[in-house]
């Protein structure tokens, strides 16, 4: 089937369809620890070419996987069973910008940070800012409903997507949503955002742009215990303030980051809290004073306020380079993504430390503390015999602890393959059946990113499937 599909697509795509071992190896996985197998890789440059690729895949009954920059951490862009990988990075144009109505039409391969840079001269930016924003694509953000540090006050990607042009699995073209505040009928736009590639491929996306705040203040507090930092987070929110960002790193993470960026971070602290406030100047200064008072009341040892944009950028570089900095500790990592109620942060963090200690693993905690989105980062060397089994066992226990505390499986990374079999922890049979019915409504043939998210067969012909040796 895949050979016939490749022969058909080669007529139009020529060298933009690849079957060499190098390309198939590179596109057989995303940034997760899960590998798969690609049958062919294609690089369309227009909506019409995406339609052509999916029509051909539909005729030949070949599954396909849409892929952006490959920064996903849940195996969502990992192809299975020699699927066709449709790479969207060559569709990377900002098509139009409307600064008056604060919106833009973009192609899915536009990088997150590049979009904000291109509209900066209008005093605007794209609010969702994942830690990988220098390399992740808008299409991938839409697929996973990605978040980021500044989504505490601004909301995740779904809050910033107005409409999309989408190619369905049979090659037909539809528009979901639009520029109206409340499009008529069912919210199919909302259903598509976060669908992890199971509903089709977005080829044009209308994004909402956010006005830059006139004043921004960034603070770094440090604490003698993680619990003091977590309680400070809850106290800030309880005081009626929603900062632009509330991020926390524990000691091992701070030490790794400081060795990398040399920002004079307090490496002896058990935890640091990065707080950013944005708005009108007088209101910002009032909030800064209140937040410092709350921090001091909860045991903050010191408070550092960025004195200029360069220092602010350095502090944020520390937060956003945390995942890369861990290479100084171990060569491999498994980054989890769960959400718990803020009041449960101290309890769940204690459980995370206990779980990893029991499994003889090191853990760095760096997370969106303001909305309870945990990112326990298990560091290891996969060459060590038996370590992968310990890592996966610890990961499952962390997920169970989070759900038992009233939390959810994922805040921004998605379910993909990583958490697919954990879905029954949160959803009953009727819930999963409803999600399967939604998937079939968009993709009756079950060809769009099959075997992801739903733990039971979701379409005719689907079988529960995890590739042999997928965890690598």
- The helix (run of H) or strand (run of E) holding residue 356 is helix 345-358
Phi-psi region of 341 (alpha: psi -120 to 50; beta: other; left: phi over 0): beta
Mean pLDDT, range 75-91, rounded to an integer: 97
Residue 455: count of CB within 10 angstroms of its CB: 16
Contact assessment for residue 346 and residue 365, using Cβ atoms and an 8 Å cutoff: no
Residue 292 lies in a domain: yes
Residue 336 lies in a domain: yes
- Tell me 443's DSSP state: -
* pLDDT surpasses 60 at 434: yes
Q: How many domains does the chain have?
A: 4
Mean pLDDT, range 427-444, rounded to an integer: 96
Residue 450 to residue 83: CA distance in whole angstroms: 9
For 121-157, write each residue's pLDDT tens digit.
Answer: 999 999 999 989 999 999 999 999 998 999 999 999 9
Residue 172 lies in a domain: yes
Residue 302 lies in a domain: yes
Residue 447 lies in a domain: no
Q: What is the pLDDT of residue 352?
A: 97
Same domain for 200 and 99 = yes
Q: What does 254-282 look like in DSSP terms, one character per residue? A: HHHHHHHH-----TT-SEEEEEEEEESHH
Residue 472 lies in a domain: no
Residue 185 to residue 177: CA distance in whole angstroms: 9
CA-CA distances (angstroms) from residue 327 to 33, 253, 296? 15, 11, 34
Q: Pull the structure tokens for residue 245.
A: 């960002």
Among 160, 67, 56, which residue's Cα sits nearest to residue 106? 160
Q: Crossing angle, helix 345-358 and helix 387-404, to 10 degrees?
A: 160
Residue 199 to residue 374: CA distance in whole angstroms: 28
Residue whose pair of structure tokens reads 């998210």 in the numeric block? 453
| Domain span at 344 | 330-438
* pLDDT surpasses 50 at 462: no
Residue 451 lies in a domain: no
Residue 315 to residue 306: CA distance in whole angstroms: 8
Helix, coil or strand: residue 133: coil
Spacing of C-alpha 320 from chain mean position = 13
Residue 453 lies in a domain: no
Phi-psi region of 164 (alpha: psi -120 to 50; beta: other; left: phi over 0): beta
Residue 232's domain is classified under what CATH number? Answer: 3.30.70.2190
Same domain for 299 and 359 = no
pLDDT-derived band at 183, boundaries 50, 70, 90: low
Residue 29's domain is classified under what CATH number? Answer: 3.30.43.10
For 294-325, write each residue's pLDDT tens digit.
Answer: 999 999 999 999 999 999 999 999 898 887 78
Tell which of 87, 121, 147 closes a domain.
Answer: 87
Same domain for 223 and 122 = no
- The helix (run of H) or strand (run of E) holding residue 7 is helix 2-13
For 23-51, write each residue's pLDDT tens digit.
Answer: 999 999 999 999 999 999 999 999 999 99
Contact assessment for residue 27 and residue 72, using Cβ atoms and an 8 Å cutoff: no
Same domain for 207 and 105 = yes
- pTM exceeding the 0.85 threshold for the entire prediction: yes
* pLDDT surpasses 70 at 227: yes
108, β-bridge pairs: none
Tell which of 25, 52, 87 closes a domain.
Answer: 87
Residue whose pair of structure tokens reads 């004043």 in the numeric block? 215
Residue 363 to residue 386: CA distance in whole angstroms: 17
Is residue 175 exposed (0-12), middle (13-18) or buried (19+ Cβ within 10 Å)? middle
Same domain for 336 and 314 = no
């Amino acid at each position: 089937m895949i050979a016939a599909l490749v022969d058909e697509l080669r007529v139009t795509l020529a060298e933009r369809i690849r079957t060499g071992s190098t390309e198939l190896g590179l596109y057989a996985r995303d940034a997760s620890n899960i590998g798969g197998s690609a049958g062919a890789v294609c690089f369309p440059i227009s909506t019409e070419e995406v339609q052509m690729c999916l029509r051909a895949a539909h005729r030949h009954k070949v599954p396909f996987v849409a892929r952006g920059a490959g920064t996903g951490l849940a195996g969502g862009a990992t192809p299975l069973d020699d699927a066709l990988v449709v790479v969207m990075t060559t569709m990377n144009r900002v098509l139009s910008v409307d600064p008056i109505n604060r919106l833009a039409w973009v192609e899915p391969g536009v990088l997150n940070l590049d979009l904000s840079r291109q509209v900066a001269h209008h005093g605007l930016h794209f609010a969702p800012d994942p830690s990988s924003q220098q390399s992740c694509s808008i299409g991938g953000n839409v697929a996973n409903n990605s978040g980021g540090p500044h989504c505490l006050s601004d909301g995740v990607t779904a809050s910033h997507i107005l409409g999309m042009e989408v190619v369905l699995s049979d090659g037909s073209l539809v528009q979901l949503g639009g520029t109206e505040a409340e499009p008529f009928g069912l919210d199919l736009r909302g259903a598509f955002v976060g669908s992890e590639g199971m509903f089709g491929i977005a080829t044009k996306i209308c994004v909402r742009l956010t006005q830059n705040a006139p004043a921004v203040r960034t603070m770094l507090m440090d604490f003698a215990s993680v619990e003091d930092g977590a309680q400070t987070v809850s106290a800030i929110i309880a005081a009626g303030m929603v900062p632009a960002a509330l991020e926390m790193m524990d000691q091992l993470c701070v030490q790794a980051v400081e060795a990398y960026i040399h920002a004079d971070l307090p490496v002896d602290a058990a935890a640091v809290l990065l707080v950013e406030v944005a708005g009108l100047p007088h209101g910002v200064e009032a909030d800064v004073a209140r937040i410092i008072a709350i921090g001091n009341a909860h045991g903050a040892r010191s408070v550092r306020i960025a004195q200029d944009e360069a220092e602010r950028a350095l502090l944020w570089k520390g937060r956003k380079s945390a995942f890369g900095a861990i290479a100084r500790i171990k060569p491999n990592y498994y980054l989890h993504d769960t959400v718990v109620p803020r009041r449960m942060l101290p309890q769940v963090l204690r459980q995370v430390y206990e779980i990893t200690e029991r499994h003889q693993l090191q853990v760095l905690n760096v997370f969106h503390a303001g909305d309870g989105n945990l990112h326990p980062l298990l560091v290891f060397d996969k060459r060590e015999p038996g370590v992968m089994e310990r890592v996966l066992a610890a990961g499952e226990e962390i997920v169970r602890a989070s759900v038992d505390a009233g939390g959810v499986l994922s805040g921004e990374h998605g379910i993909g393959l990583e958490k697919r079999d954990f879905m029954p922890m949160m959803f009953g049979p009727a819930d999963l059946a409803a999600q399967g019915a939604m998937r079939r409504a968009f993709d009756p043939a079950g060809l769009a990113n099959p075997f992801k998210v739903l733990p039971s067969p979701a379409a005719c012909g689907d079988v529960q499937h995890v590739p042999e040796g997928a965890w690598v």
